[in-house]
Amino acid sequence: MASIPNGPNSAPSKIITIPRVVVATTAMLTFISFWRAAAVVLNDLASSAYYAGGEAEGFVGKSAPWFILGVMLFSYCVRAIYVESCSMFVRGGVYRVVKEALGGTLAKFSVSALMFDYILTGPISGVSAGQYLAGVVNEMLAYAHLSLKLPVDGTAALIAVLITVYFWWLNIKGIPESSHKALRIMQLTTVMVVILIAWCTYTVWVRGAHLPPPPTPANVILDRHSLGWLTGSRLLRMIPAIAIFVGLGHSVLAMSGEESLAQVYREIQHPKLPNLKKAGLVIFVYSMVFTSLVSIFAVMIIPDEIRKHFLENLIGGLAMSLVGPPSLRLLFHVFVVVVGTLILAGAVNTAIIGSNGVLNRVSEDGVLTEWFRQPHRKYGTSHRLINIIVTLQIVTILASRGEVTFLGNLYAFGVIWSFAMKGIAVLVLRYTHPGGREYRVPGNIKIGGVEIPLGLGLITLVLLLIAIVNLFTKPEATVSGLIFSFALFGVFEISERLTHRRGEAHVEMDQFNVAAQADLSPQSVGCRPGNILVPVSNYHALYHLSAVLDQVQPDHRDIIVLHIRLLRRAASGESELEAEQLFGSIEQYLFTQALSLAEKRGKTVKLAVVPAGDPWEGIVRAAASLESSTIVLGHSTRYSAATQARQIGHSWEALPDPRPPFNLEIYSPGGQREFFLLGPHSPQLTPNEVRLVHQLWLHFSDSVAPEELHHHDVVHFALNEVEQEISEGHESEVVARLRAHLENNRKKRSSQS
């Protein structure tokens, strides 16, 4: 049915028109500071400090820390590529942008390499966390003089599987990302890093030590293990510098996580680009100090014969080799492992979210069929994609048998090729989209009016050289990466052809007139103030919309059906999305079902889609923009109605002043309704509470005479007394009394029932 603005006394239109859907292309987000953005990225980047140094030394020897330092310095150049990419304002997300620059075939290969990166991020982080946990447990058993010892690799694999399954379940349920948690984890990590560096410095001062040998070709171990297919090649004798690229290739894991900077770009507060640069600088300094110093101190402090047993648990070995009593070192080792587990487990979750985001974006661009993106019947998440991703990750963990080295080899393939393809895409876009940039990678010269991106070209060339050298030095990774990339490329090709051939016409769906608008407003949607906002997300659960349609007359109040399009950081963080990407076949089918419910009742509804990073925030901001009076939700499968109301309330508190009041109604599938008020409102007092206020008024009226006392004075005085107790530092006592009061009320209700 048409969604035409209706006047107060107008009857529903009999003219059959194409329903109109307003798609807001500006996302409703809570913007974060550059400090918090840096914390989000460092949660990914800092995880590599736990395994990158040991992996590099296992291949190239004691000079590995200098290669790690070189990679961390070079990471600032790579970060400049992502900053330029963010400043181009190219719409479309990762696949469409690369496709525009390099064509469809290379775009599919680029996404395949990125997926290989994401698929491996989870297993290597989970297994590394398992290695650290198994190591510290064995240290504790030895400290207690127990002969029991855990098999490290097997235990690591088991822990990695458990972590992956845990985050699989959270993602199936749709638990959102949190920059607040990322900031808290990085604050804890910073405490650990400061203690570690200070303690290492003191240890070196007490014992004395030598720096690692310089990274010259003579000091780099060049054997079958580090050279792979280059073993015996004349190229090494002809071009000794190749040895340097071999070392950099084995150390490139230290740079993994750089792409996260682009993913948080959309959320960074104004001015975006300067704050992005500040975040990049914070990330560079933090990661360079942490990752490189861990590797340098490990070589300086841990004896060679001991260090070779700690290459997959390098920081743990470093903690146990410091100066000090064994009990204190063991306690610090436990702290290191707790922090590492938080970071590494978070990287497992990021890998699942990132993979899901990339594949969802590819699906929306018509490369994967919509079957992959069908929502879960209960939770509304893209469960099929999540199941595929996690299955691949668990298979990878089992294949690795808990060895970080095996996973590191594979992971390096995806990391370096993702960077290389990104560099090539940005380089090509310099010529296909020469304008519209706030930032360019430095090192540009003009010859005859033509700009030569020398800096960008050199960075991309170095990335390509490292990637090509890695093809030969990591045979297992090359074979596995190419098989995975070609297999995924084949899936993309076949799925894209099937999608175009079917034209997505296999499901009976209404056609919609998609109207792109920068922002939602009553004028853009065609509604009146005081409307009812009904957010919908799962076409299997539209009972709350049915309840509203049964009760409300649209000639008196407009009904707006709103879909919040959740934006994950991965795959679209650095670019805005087109309206047709925000309104795909899943959204089309959702609104088809919503219109069907309205048409059965002969009523009209307005339709709108808005992108947001958080569903609660998106709902509240949309309600404020549309001047709604009531928000109607269905009962969540993940939260109680009280928790839903609390989440909505938190989002309401985050609105800028003046905050409009809303009514909130939450319906259960059985038709029961719970009612809440958002914003300051008169409390719903029970008869007992009214009676108590009256008794206190009677008690004090004579005492304060001749002053006139009112009932509201009693309430105001009591509130002021509580506020004063809190301000005087007695909050814990107030909370204890309040908790006891609530407990007594609960017992009374249960005894009465």
Report the distance separating Cα 312 and Cα 247, nearest Å. 18
Q: At what angle do helices 93-102 and 404-432 cross, to 10 degrees?
A: 60
Give per-residue pLDDT as tens, 475-509: 888 898 888 888 888 888 888 787 777 654 444 55
Region of 93 (left: φ > 0; alpha: ψ -120 to 50; beta: rest) is: left
How many other CB atoms are there within 10 angstroms of residue 546's CB atom?
Answer: 18
Q: Residue with structure tokens 């529903």?
A: 12
Q: What is the mean pLDDT of residues 652-673?
A: 88
3-state secondary structure of 177: coil
Catalogue the E-assigned strands of 413-507. 444-447, 450-453
Say what the pLDDT of residue 7 is: 41
Say what the pLDDT of residue 509 is: 57
The model's confidence at residue 295, banded by pLDDT at 50, 70 and 90, is very high
Tokens of 286: 């933090």
Give per-residue pLDDT as tens, 340-359: 888 888 888 888 887 887 78
Among the listed residues 415, 360, 484, the one whose alpha carbon sits nearest the alpha carbon of residue 44: 415
How many other CB atoms are there within 10 angstroms of residue 10's CB atom?
Answer: 12
Say what the pLDDT of residue 494 is: 86
Q: What is the mean pLDDT of residues 380-396?
A: 89
The model's confidence at residue 9, banded by pLDDT at 50, 70 and 90, is very low
Say what the pLDDT of residue 495 is: 83
Say what the pLDDT of residue 71 is: 93
Q: State which of 112-121, 195-204, 407-416, 534-543 shows the largest mean pLDDT.
A: 195-204
3-state secondary structure of 540: coil
Give per-residue pLDDT as tens, 25-49: 666 666 778 888 888 888 777 788 8
308 forms beta bridges with: none
Domains located in the chain, CATH noted? 32-93+121-360+375-405 (1.20.1740.10), 518-678 (3.40.50.620), 687-752 (no CATH)
How far is residue 563 from each of residues 461, 568, 588, 613, measured CA to CA in Å? 44, 16, 11, 13
pLDDT at 173 over 90: no
Tokens of 749: 């209700």
**Burial letters for 622-652: b for 16+ Cβ neighbours within 10 Å, e otherwise?**
bbbbbebbbbbbbbbeeeebeebbebbbebb
Report the distance separating Cα 252 and Cα 231, nearest Å. 20
Burial class (CB in 10 A: 0-12, 13-18, 19+), 501: exposed
Q: What is the mean pLDDT of residues 398-426?
A: 86
The model's confidence at residue 571, banded by pLDDT at 50, 70 and 90, is low
3-state secondary structure of 571: coil
Q: Which residues 6+ apart lie within 8 Å of 611 measured at CB?
A: 24, 25, 26, 27, 28, 564, 565, 566, 567, 577, 582, 618
pLDDT at 177 over 70: no
pLDDT at 696 over 80: yes
Say what the pLDDT of residue 572 is: 53
Say what the pLDDT of residue 752 is: 73
Please, what is the average pLDDT of the chain? Answer: 84
Tokens of 722: 């509580």
Say what the pLDDT of residue 93 is: 54
Q: State which of 17-21, 303-307, 456-460 shows the largest mean pLDDT.
A: 456-460
Q: Residue with structure tokens 């109207």?
A: 515
Among the listed residues 23, 29, 24, the one whose alpha carbon sits nearest the alpha carbon of residue 616: 29
pLDDT at 165 over 90: yes
Say what the pLDDT of residue 633 is: 94
pLDDT at 50 over 70: yes
pLDDT at 236 over 80: no
Report the distance separating Cα 693 and Cα 151, nearest Å. 67
Give the 3-state secondary structure of 617-666: HHHHHHHHHCCCCEEEEECCCCCCHHHHHHHHHHHHHCCCCCCCCEEEEE
Report the distance separating Cα 2 and Cα 590, nearest Å. 16
Q: What is the mean pLDDT of residues 432-443?
A: 81
pLDDT at 567 over 90: no
> β-strands 20-24, 606-612: how paired?
parallel
Q: Which residues 6+ apart lie within 8 Å of 156 measured at CB?
A: 127, 128, 129, 130, 131, 133, 134, 402, 404
Percent of the chain predicted with pLDDT > 70: 91
3-state secondary structure of 57: helix
Among the listed residues 586, 566, 563, the one whose alpha carbon sits nearest the alpha carbon of residue 21: 563
Say what the pLDDT of residue 753 is: 63
How far from the centroid of its chain's Cα atoms is residue 49's Cα? Answer: 20
**Within 13 Å, how many C-alpha atoms sit on residue 378's CB side?**
7
